[in-house]
Structure 1
Amino acid sequence: MIHAGLEGIVAADSKISLVDGENGLLVYRGEWAESIAKHYSFEEATYFLWHGSAPKKTQFDNITSEFGQARHLTAAQKKIIDLLPESMEIMAVIRTILSSMGEEDFQFPATHTQGMRLLGIIPTIIAYRYRSQKGLPIIDPDDKLSHVGNFLYMLKGETPVEQHVKALTAYFILTMEHGLNASTFTARVIASTESDLVSAITGAIGAMKGPLHGGAPTGVIDLLEEIKHDGNSERVLRKKLENREKLMGFGHRIYKTRDPRAAALSEITSNFYDDEEFSLAHEVEDTAVRLLKEYKPDRKLYANVEYYAAAILRAIELPTELFTPTFTAARCAGWIAHVFEQNENNRIIRPSSVYSGEMPEYR
């Protein structure tokens, strides 16, 4: 029996995360992901995902320092970015710079230090490339800011709004890991050959770059913009449902109940009433869920993480071309965790295929 796309095939025994779509559960190493998002910084969540325990004071200070050191581009890396074609999109730029880091000190097996160097530099690559292309002054990293706060600072050139940092940090944590998805599986396949961490992560970036995996939630943005322009969420949503149009950002391929990531992001941003964009997102979610129950009572359709990703990234005025790169900056933490786990108990991943071509005549 062929399982197209390997759907339903168990290919790894992992202690990193549980994704239970039937019951709407997301667990990181024995803890609810939403709890991690509410109480941890991205630095703490990364340490927890990689090592299975919350960092103690000394460990937290060390990882914070490592993030600070890792976020600085070298002169050679800046030169590479400057020489790349203007038409090259940022995902390809990230892949290129990380690939250039694959020197002798990135040999198998992967280490915590290697992981920090790759994870820490991605936001800087994004900000440097974006501001360069827009003709804006380059903003150097601020080592006193958090990983997510510094990302916003480098992009905008000003101290970020606290609630924007809080919302984006929660987004980073809730999207840093999500089981054996296409990009994570790619990373593990490469790691299973005992290749280096750089190769595994650049391979994962290649998978994330595909629109079926890391595509920007532009449909949700268009929906929110249409409602904001109209001024009446129920009128817009009801018209779409009567025309049998899909409400972008509602329903999920895996989660048959409410996406736990969307639920957590909804709760975390629920008090940001002074922010017009967050208020609109909550109003639209409430109205859409109510109308979906009316029009499609036999289906359980709720806001998914794509909906709140769009709402948050829109609220902080992140350009749409940076959505997938930003997703990558978060998910890289999960990729690295999986490479560590693959290295610990390795067996080369080599599925079989069924030949369906023609056969030559027997001799």
Structure 2
Amino acid sequence: MSDELKRGLEGVLVAESELSHVDGEAGRLVYRGYDIEELARGASYEEVLYLLWHGSLPTREELDSFAAELATERDVDDDVLETVRMLADAGEEPMAALRTAVSMLSAYELEPDSDPADLEATLRKGRRITAKIPTVLAAFERARQGEEPVAPDGDLSHAANFLYMLTGTVPDDVSEETFDMALTLHADHGLNASTFTSIVIGSTMADVYSGVTGGIGALSGSLHGGANQDVMELLYEVDESEKDPVQWVKDARADGRRIPGFGHRVYKVKDPRARILEEKLRDLSESSGDTKWLDYTTAIETYLTDQGLVEKGIAPNVDFYSGSVYDSMGIPLDMYTPIFAMSRAGGWIAHMVEYQENNRLIRPRARYTGPETAEFVPIDER
């Protein structure tokens, strides 16, 4: 057994998966063999969930049945909604509120005593979690605004229903399509930190609520799920400065500041998800007549590309455009990462089930660096 230390487990293979693959050199992401561009443009988020959970794209009949089952699970118990309201009133962060609410959902599970080894039951529970997260998040945001929650509409898609519950207005076609694409783009991405957290929890044969709650906790960290918010804060700062965006970036870099949304642990070229969201930002800008964020991001990307960052493997990632897309749809800044969790929960569930099919408890080692011996002294003599 090698004693070589691999900090962050970089380069260490710990599992095999059929779910998703990231080719960082080519800038390619696939879910079960399908290019993300094809899925984002041609399939709904519900189809992608079916693909991740069941191994193939659904037929029309299978999709209709699956989407209907998902829609019937959207209602959340009043006690959970009251807790969400209390957390909003207390000023809790959205990701922390979501973590608490998802954990609490298990108290109202329809199959509370099912064996974690029953993977079909795990998928049914996962479907309920996935359906209810949008309801929780929309209720939390409305509570912060002093408004009552909007009941889910079973006739709307997963994406449209969230925007409806958030705003009280059925979204237009461009917004629905864009948000659906964003959910698909974030549904899975290999063995990232939050997915690995969910798998580790699942490997103990803990229930799926524990795994999703753990995934939310991991995603809440600033090194994982918060970069889209960082990008948007940068764009706000550029706008408030009234400087040309390129000049602002020049000054920021001269001051030693890092530009968020550029660079990725895996991708060495432009993130394929960024290319798609850039197109949707263009559609949203044309629809609204407001091209400010599109103009800023395009100018910044062009400048940094001309400076040779992409040649050094520091290219735009998905976060560089997702924040602008969400802002264009009127979504609050600190809801960006919770929306990431809303989408990625589907991937966490798929990975937990896949790993548990051939489960082995994940139990790595640490190299001990403490003293070899220490003399014990009774407490009264210390």
Same fold at TM > 0.5:
yes
1:284-299 equivalent positions in 2, closer than 5 A: 284-296=296-308, 298-299=311-312
The verdict on how the C-alpha distance between 1:283 and 1:348 changes in structure 2, with shifts beyond 3 A counting, is same
Q: Which residue number corresponds to residue 37 of structure 1?
A: 40
Q: Which residue number corresponds to residue 311 of structure 1?
A: 324
CA offsets 1:19-39 (integer angstroms, 9 cap, x no match): 121221111100111211111
Are the counterparts in 1 of residues 281 and 324 from structure 2 also a CA contact under 8 Å?
no
How many matched pairs?
363
CA offsets 1:187-218 (integer angstroms, 9 cap, x no match): 11111111211111111112112222222533
Q: Distance between the aligned counterparts of 2:318 and 2:290, measured in 1?
A: 14
* Deviation at residue 226 of structure 1 after TM alignment: 4.1
**Unmatched 5+ stretches in structure 1:** none
Q: Distance between the aligned counterparts of 2:65 and 2:315, measured in 1?
A: 40
Please say if 1:113 is aligned against 2:124. yes
Q: Which residue number corresponds to residue 255 of structure 1?
A: 267
1:191-206 equivalent positions in 2, closer than 5 A: 191-206=202-217
The verdict on how the C-alpha distance between 1:273 and 1:133 changes in structure 2, with shifts beyond 3 A counting, is closer
The verdict on how the C-alpha distance between 1:135 and 1:216 changes in structure 2, with shifts beyond 3 A counting, is farther
**Unmatched 5+ stretches in structure 2:** 376-382
Are the counterparts in 1 of residues 284 and 325 from structure 2 also a CA contact under 8 Å?
no
Matched residue SS, 1:207: helix
Are the counterparts in 2 of residues 141 and 150 from structure 1 also a CA contact under 8 Å?
yes
* Deviation at residue 152 of structure 1 after TM alignment: 0.7
Q: Distance between the aligned counterparts of 1:52 and 1:351, measured in 2?
A: 30
Please say if 1:360 is aligned against 2:363. no
CA offsets 1:160-180 (integer angstroms, 9 cap, x no match): 122122212111111110111
Q: Which residue number corresponds to residue 95 of structure 1?
A: 99
Q: Which residue number corresponds to residue 127 of structure 1?
A: 138
Please say if 1:220 is aligned against 2:223. no
The verdict on how the C-alpha distance between 1:183 and 1:239 changes in structure 2, with shifts beyond 3 A counting, is same
Are the counterparts in 2 of residues 278 and 312 from structure 1 also a CA contact under 8 Å?
no
Q: Which residue number corresponds to residue 198 of structure 2?
A: 187
The verdict on how the C-alpha distance between 1:288 and 1:145 changes in structure 2, with shifts beyond 3 A counting, is same
The verdict on how the C-alpha distance between 1:101 and 1:272 changes in structure 2, with shifts beyond 3 A counting, is closer
Q: Which residue number corresponds to residue 59 of structure 2?
A: 56
Q: Distance between the aligned counterparts of 1:59 and 1:130, measured in 2?
A: 33
Are the counterparts in 2 of residues 216 and 320 from structure 1 also a CA contact under 8 Å?
no
* Deviation at residue 307 of structure 1 after TM alignment: 1.0
* Deviation at residue 323 of structure 1 after TM alignment: 1.3
Q: Which amino acid aligns with 2:318?
A: V
Matched residue SS, 1:18: strand
Q: Which amino acid aligns with 1:338?
A: H
Q: Distance between the aligned counterparts of 1:186 and 1:344, measured in 2?
A: 17
Q: Distance between the aligned counterparts of 2:203 and 2:189, measured in 1?
A: 19
The verdict on how the C-alpha distance between 1:262 and 1:357 changes in structure 2, with shifts beyond 3 A counting, is same
Please say if 1:334 is aligned against 2:342. no
Q: Which amino acid aligns with 1:294?
A: D
Q: Which residue number corresponds to residue 17 of structure 1?
A: 20
Q: Which amino acid aligns with 2:73?
A: A
Matched residue SS, 1:19: strand
* Deviation at residue 311 of structure 1 after TM alignment: 1.0
Are the counterparts in 1 of residues 85 and 139 from structure 2 also a CA contact under 8 Å?
no
The verdict on how the C-alpha distance between 1:247 and 1:361 changes in structure 2, with shifts beyond 3 A counting, is closer
State the TM-score, normalized to the length of structure 2: 0.87
Are the counterparts in 2 of residues 106 and 114 from structure 1 also a CA contact under 8 Å?
no
Q: Distance between the aligned counterparts of 1:265 and 1:277, measured in 2?
A: 18
The verdict on how the C-alpha distance between 1:290 and 1:119 changes in structure 2, with shifts beyond 3 A counting, is same
State the TM-score, normalized to the length of structure 1: 0.92
Q: Distance between the aligned counterparts of 1:210 and 1:289, measured in 2?
A: 25
